[in-house]
């Protein structure tokens, strides 16, 4: 479990940076920066070296594109509208050949091709009445952790731990789930960034025996509605590139494919590539108004 991750905020004379230290996934991510980018890059590279990280990620802005390229970073994906309407670019740099290579890349290209060939169908079918929709509170943390333990052998954040789930709820993460009998069988969350008005739809999990009712599409749409009510219009999701089903759900809900993060995190049972999908919820609101 990734219980050792932490956020450090650096303030120097000519730059400031917010860095996500992630030793479990052997990576460091610069989530925000201001001021002298060259110095911010140097500071991040020093931290990556000290932590023996295999991957360094910058959530870059358009104006930083050429500087990051000149420092050996490559752009792997984009989130449209991430920074209060301005696009965010995932710039990545690797420190080992093993982390920089993937034996599944071509297979994942074909998965994306087949997903994009599907007809978009955002119609949501209400699940059978035995499935009860609920917004998760701290009281449900134990049951939610049990669901994540059942679905994911390995996960990039410690969702197997109810204490961690309670902490994320206190910090503003929104969880919705379906309960069947006494157990939670499907769940998803939205991690909200109130400052930049964006949210990541994540932590999507459904028990295999309950995957035929379209529960995840329903949960994601419910989260979108709540985000719109809070004035959050940039929604994105980062899905396992090997999961045809999850990528298909996002495509059918109107998300746009925006690239793939190579060997991004440990999830399911190994280090995996992750597809980035983005949706403009403001556009969705206009559609609802026209109906």
162-180 pLDDT per residue, tens:
999 999 999 999 999 999 9
- Domains of the chain, residue spans: 6-94, 105-290
Look at residue 284 in the predicted model and tell me its pLDDT. 64
In the CATH hierarchy, which top-level class contains the domain 105-290? alpha beta
Give the C-alpha separation, 25 to 155, whole Å: 10
| pTM tops 0.85, yes or no | yes
Task: Find the Cα–Cα–Cα–Cα dihedral 219, 220, 221, 224, rounded to 10°.
Answer: 120
Q: Is 208 a residue whose pLDDT tops 80?
A: yes
Give the C-alpha separation, 159 to 146, whole Å: 9
Tens-digit pLDDT profile for residues 213-261: 999 999 999 999 999 999 999 999 999 999 999 999 999 999 999 999 9
Task: Assign 47 a pLDDT band (cuts: 50, 70, 90).
Answer: very high
6-94 shares its CATH topology with 105-290: yes
- Helices (H) and strands (E) counted in the chain, each on its own, are 9, 13
Task: Assign 4 a pLDDT band (cuts: 50, 70, 90).
Answer: confident
Q: Which CATH superfamily is domain 6-94 in?
A: Gcn5-related N-acetyltransferase (GNAT) (3.40.630.30)
For residue 65, give Cα distances in angstroms to 51, 69, 92: 25, 6, 12
The b/e string for 120-137 (b: 16+ C-beta within 10 A; e otherwise) is: eeeeeeebeeebeeeebe
């Amino acid at each position: 479990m990734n219980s050792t991750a932490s956020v450090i905020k650096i303030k120097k004379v000519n730059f400031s940076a917010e860095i996500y230290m992630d030793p479990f996934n052997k990576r460091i991510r610069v989530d925000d920066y201001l001021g002298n980018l060259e110095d911010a890059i140097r500071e991040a590279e020093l931290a990556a070296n000290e932590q023996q990280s295999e991957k360094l990620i910058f959530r870059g802005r358009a104006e930083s594109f050429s500087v990051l390229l000149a420092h050996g970073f490559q752009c792997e994906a984009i989130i449209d509208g991430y920074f209060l309407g301005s696009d965010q670019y995932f710039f990545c740099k690797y420190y080992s050949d093993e982390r920089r290579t993937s034996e599944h890349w071509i297979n994942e290209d074909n998965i994306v091709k087949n997903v994009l060939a599907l007809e978009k169908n955002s119609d949501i079918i209400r699940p059978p009445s035995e499935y009860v929709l609920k917004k998760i509170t701290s009281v449900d943390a134990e049951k939610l952790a049990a669901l994540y333990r059942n679905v994911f052998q390995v996960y990039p954040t410690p969702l197997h731990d109810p204490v961690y789930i309670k902490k994320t709820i206190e910090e503003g993460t929104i969880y919705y789930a379906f309960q069947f009998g006494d157990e939670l069988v499907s769940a998803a969350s939205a991690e909200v960034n109130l400052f930049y008005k964006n949210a990541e739809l994540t932590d999507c999990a459904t028990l295999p025996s309950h995957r035929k009712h379209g529960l995840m599409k329903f949960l994601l749409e419910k989260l979108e509605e709540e985000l719109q009510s809070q004035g959050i219009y940039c929604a994105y999701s980062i899905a396992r590139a090997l999961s045809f089903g999850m990528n298909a759900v996002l495509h059918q809900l109107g998300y746009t494919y925006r690239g793939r993060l190579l060997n991004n995190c440990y999830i399911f049972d190994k280090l995996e590539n992750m597809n980035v999908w983005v949706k403009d919820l403001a556009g969705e609101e206009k559609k609802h108004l026209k109906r």
